[in-house]
Amino acid sequence: MASLSTLAAGGLIAVAFAGCGIVGPGPVDTTGATPFDEPLAIPPLAESHVAADGTRVFALDARAGATEFTAGVESDTWGFNGGYLGPTLVADRGEQVRIDVTNSLETATTVHWHGMHLPAAMDGGPHQMVEPDASWSPAWRIDQPAATLWYHPHPHGETESHVARGLAGLFLLHDEAERALGLPGEYGVDDVPVIVQDAGFSRDGEREDPQRGYAGGLGDELIVNGTRHPYFDVTDALVRLRLLNASTARTYAFTWSDGRPIELIATDGGLLEASVALDHVRLSPGERAEVLVRMTPGETVMLQSRMTPEIAGLVPAVAATNGGTDAFDVLELRAAGDLEPGASVPARLVEIVDFDAADVATTRHFELGDGFEINGEAMDPGRIDETVTVNTLERWIVENRNAVPHSFHVHDVQFRVASIDGAPPPPEMAGWKDTIFTEPETTYELLMRFDDYADPSTPYMYHCHLLWHEDQGMMGQFAVVEPGQRATMSEGTHHEH
């Protein structure tokens, strides 16, 4: 009866979407359809200098531009320091950094440091808007493990548009523990950024708005680092791919064309305790993964995404119109005839110290609705929904009660998934996370500790990272305060738990 109820709910939701004009795109399969004949663009490393006080200083300029995704055909795009995407920022744990952000666009925007532990006033959320021809210079000390993070705009109601136009880039963190492992680490050679986005293109190759499903805009083609049909020439036997799902709505299930296991070594917030061999790596918008692949001289293998309703956790009627049955060729790897030998990967990568559930000070509940609300309320920039005491461990129960896809992202902290519907998480979700895909009718128990930064007047965000959902109001705000302190913005009804 439960299965029949779920199936019926999925069918009713699909009909309801059609009645609202949200029919959604049909299934897409691009595997084997197109030769991959464009060399993969590698985002440049961001230039920096060290100021007199020891601060490493970067500069980002958000600007409008034009990009030839198809030779000879220009598309209007936005980028940082260029026409599309942005440079890769790199910093070490312990460094003080400052990013001088300039907005050369004709509209206000922000820059959010996704996955970064930092003061709320430096977070780059909707309360830190940068007006046209203005600048902003957030500064903080890097104090978290080596990880693949990223940066992107976060203007309330317009995040999907700004990210889709091209405002995004990687922010890589290193530390001594990671460097000591001997993992591939030469940027753009054996340590390769893979920023995956979906897009729509006209017949003549100009980028256009994709068709919209319930999840949001879903393009029928992929670009990687801004490159259509990309290949990468491999010169090392062991290659590290840093996968970022920078799409606004589409969830991927990354796998290899020849069926070899995909070797996962890191998730959003850093390295796993040990590598995990998987059939696929599922990434929803905003999630990252680091994977290793061993190549033999002269071989070719295609990174693909092959979603199924089972992987998406969706009933077929909902999956079919929200990318849950789609398959794509993503990136072709072409090994040279002679390869530099690859080092062996240590059996143990890092130690992750578990939180002690007995230390939980507060439990909070978050229900994700099908009307783009959390706990029955849409985002109000003037309302604090939750007030957190600094230096405490909290349990957040996140429940998707619907038959439709959502995700959940928390600013400032990396959390641990303690359980999924009461069961331990699978190995690929056992590390540090800041974003999770929330399957329908599923409950997630998250443990997170709010260290270091308290600011009663400036909030952080939690929200669905399907960016259309976020823009429609599926977002809340929390302030971190000192013991006994109250947020100075007006507080909502859900902060007392």
Lowest mean pLDDT among 91-95, 147-151, 202-206, 478-482: 202-206
For residue 14, which phi and psi values (nearest 5 degrees)? -60, -40
Q: Where are the domains of the chain?
A: 1-340, 361-491
- Average pLDDT value for residue range 67-71: 95
Secondary structure of the chain: what % helix, strand, coil (to 5)? 10, 45, 45
Distance of CA 454 to the CA centre of its chain: 25
Highest-confidence segment of 203-212, 324-333, 370-379: 324-333
Residue 24 banded pLDDT, cuts 50, 70, 90: low
CB 230 within 8 A of CB 331: yes
Share of the chain above pLDDT 90, in %: 90
Residue-wise pLDDT for 324-372, tens only, equals 999 999 999 999 999 999 889 999 999 999 999 999 999 999 999 888 9
Distance of CA 73 to the CA centre of its chain: 29
CB 433 within 8 A of CB 465: no
CB 169 within 8 A of CB 101: no
Position 386 scores a pLDDT of 97
Structure tokens belonging to residue 66 = 């034009």
- 494 pLDDT exceeds 80? no
Does the domain spanning 1-340 belong to CATH 3.40.250.10? no
- 492 pLDDT exceeds 70? no
Residue-wise pLDDT for 235-288, tens only, equals 999 999 999 999 999 999 999 999 999 999 999 999 999 999 999 999 999 999
State how far the Cα of 69 lies from the Cα of 78, in Å rounded to an integer. 13
CATH superfamily ID and name for 361-491: Cupredoxins -  blue copper proteins (2.60.40.420)
- Stated pTM of the model: 0.94
- 22 pLDDT exceeds 90? no
Structure tokens belonging to residue 459 = 């909030």
Q: Give me the residue label for tokens 């600011």.
A: 455
Position 16 scores a pLDDT of 45
The CA radius of gyration of the chain, in Å to the nearest whole number, is 22
Position 99 scores a pLDDT of 98
Query: Could you check whether 1-340 and 361-491 share the same CATH topology?
Result: yes
Between CA 414 and CA 73, with CA 161 as vertex, the angle to 5 degrees is 120
Collapsing DSSP to helix, strand or coil, 160 comes out as helix
Q: What DSSP character marks residue 369?
A: P
Annotate 62-74 with DSSP letters as a single string: EEEEEEEEETTEE
CB 238 within 8 A of CB 343: yes
Q: Give me the residue label for tokens 């890097």.
A: 142
Contacts of 448 (CB under 8 A, 6+ apart): 393, 394, 396, 410, 413, 414, 415, 416
Position 136 scores a pLDDT of 98
Position 491 scores a pLDDT of 64
Strand positions, DSSP E, 237-359: 238-245, 252-256, 262-267, 270-278, 281-283, 288-294, 300-306, 327-340
Q: What DSSP character marks residue 71?
A: T
- Average pLDDT value for residue range 414-423: 98
Position 20 scores a pLDDT of 43
- 25 pLDDT exceeds 80? no
Residue 313 banded pLDDT, cuts 50, 70, 90: very high
